[in-house]
Amino acid sequence: MQINHLDRFRSVIDAGDTARGCVLTSTDAALAELAGECGFDFAWIDFEHSPLAITDVAHLVMALRGTGCASFVRVPWNVNYLLKPVLDLAPAGVIIPMVNSGEEARRAVAACRYPADGGERGFALRRADGYGKMPLGEYLEYTRREPLVIIQIEHREAVEKIDEILATPGVDSVCVGPFDLSASYGKPGDFTDPEVIAAIDLVREKTLAAGILLGGFCPGPFWKERFMHWKALATDTGALASAYRKLLAK
């Protein structure tokens, strides 16, 4: 839908490029608009690890609409009632954390799709159909492929069950959560450790081989030579802090 710029996001990937984005954790909608105006292909609105309320998420999604930047929202947990209000905002994608099995992946997909497509999503049309402007049939056609259902792999149990997760119908993308993933091996943030590297590369290789979109939070040089369809490069606060420190150092 034009409302969330998913087609533009896909066009970057279809052209063989990596879509680049940032993570938004601040309540100020101007920072979302700024991210889009600076040229990011997507913005990951973090509803899991931030002080954002659902009204803040709505304002950030709306601010991105005018920029051409696709809106992703990471929900707090893989449960239906937390996904419902986010889905009604019509983001380009929803990131669902800590999915560790095929059954958990199935539940995530079901929460994001309507019963006609094998899901459990409930109707509450508002922003998604242009406040009644879009005919129901046209809207339902969009919902067969929107939003992207993005499964986050961030635990060693998910790595062990990656084949059944990738085989789950309706999984559109995998998101690597490197810090929680490394922590589950007892080596938080250690991307020089062979076991952590092997786990990340296994998920990468199997996801790419399955023809599923691959993305994640990818700050730092570790990710430079590792292809992903989409990469979140920094958080809003992290980028601002880095810029401030460089300014002060001068």
pLDDT digits (tens, 9 = 90+) for 190-220: 999 999 999 999 999 999 999 999 999 999 9
Q: pLDDT at position 1, please?
A: 79
Evaluate whether 94 touches 83 at the Cβ level (below 8 Å): yes
Q: pLDDT at position 174, please?
A: 98
Q: Picking from 1-5, 53-57, 157-161, 244-248, which range would have the lowest pLDDT averaged per residue? A: 1-5
Q: Is residue 49 annotated as a catalytic residue, yes or no?
A: yes
Residues contacting residue 173 through CB under 8 Å, at least 6 positions apart: 93, 148, 149, 150, 151, 212, 213, 214, 215, 229, 230
Q: pLDDT at position 240, please?
A: 97
Backbone dihedral angles phi then psi of residue 226, each to the nearest 5 degrees: -110, 110
Class of domain 6-96+104-249: alpha beta
Cα separation, 61 vs 43, in Å, equals 9
Quote the percentage of the chain above a pLDDT of 70.
100
**Mean pLDDT over residues 75-102, rounded?**
98
**Mean pLDDT over residues 71-91, rounded?**
97
State the pLDDT confidence band at 50, using cuts at 50, 70 and 90. very high
State CA 173 to chain mean position distance: 8
**Mean pLDDT over residues 42-59, rounded?**
98
pLDDT over 90 (residue 235) = yes
Spot the catalytic one: 5, 49, 155, 229: 49
**Mean pLDDT over residues 157-164, rounded?**
98
What the block records as the tokens of 119 is 């899901």
Burial of 135 (0-12, 13-18, 19+ CB in 10 A): exposed
Phi and psi based region of residue 216 (left: phi greater than 0; alpha: psi -120 to 50; beta: remaining): left
pLDDT over 90 (residue 2) = no
Identify the CA nearest to 202 among candidates 174, 162, 172: 162
Mean pLDDT estimate for the chain: 97
Give DSSP secondary structure letters for the chain. -TTTTHHHHHHHHHTTPPEEEEEE--S-HHHHHHHHHHT-SEEEEESSSSS--HHHHHHHHHHHHTTT-EEEEE-SSS-HHHHHHHHTT--SEEEE----SHHHHHHHHHHHS-GGGT--PPP--STTTTTTTS-HHHHHHHHTT-SEEEEEE-SHHHHHTHHHHHTSTT--EEEE-HHHHHHHTT-TT-TT-HHHHHHHHHHHHHHHHTT-EEEEE--SGGGTTS--SEEEEEEHHHHHHHHHHHHHH-
Cα dihedral across residues 31, 129, 96, 80: positive or negative? positive
Q: Picking from 1-5, 117-121, 138-142, 241-245, which range would have the lowest pLDDT averaged per residue? A: 1-5
